Chain A
Amino acid sequence: MILKDKRTKRRSTENYLGDNIELGNNLIVINAINIKDNVKKTKIESIIEKSMEEILDILLDEME
Chain B
Amino acid sequence: MRGAFVLLRDLSIVIIAAAGLWFFWSQYTSLSALSWWYDNTQNLQARIATRQPDYDLTTLPWEVASPRVFEITQGTATMATSSGPFAYQAFATVSTGGASAADIQFDVDVEAGGVTIGLLQGGVWIAINSTLKPGAFAESNAARLGYRRSLTVMIANNNPAGESRLSVKSLRLFLRK
Binding partners A and B:
no
Chain B residues near A (Cβ < 8 Å): none
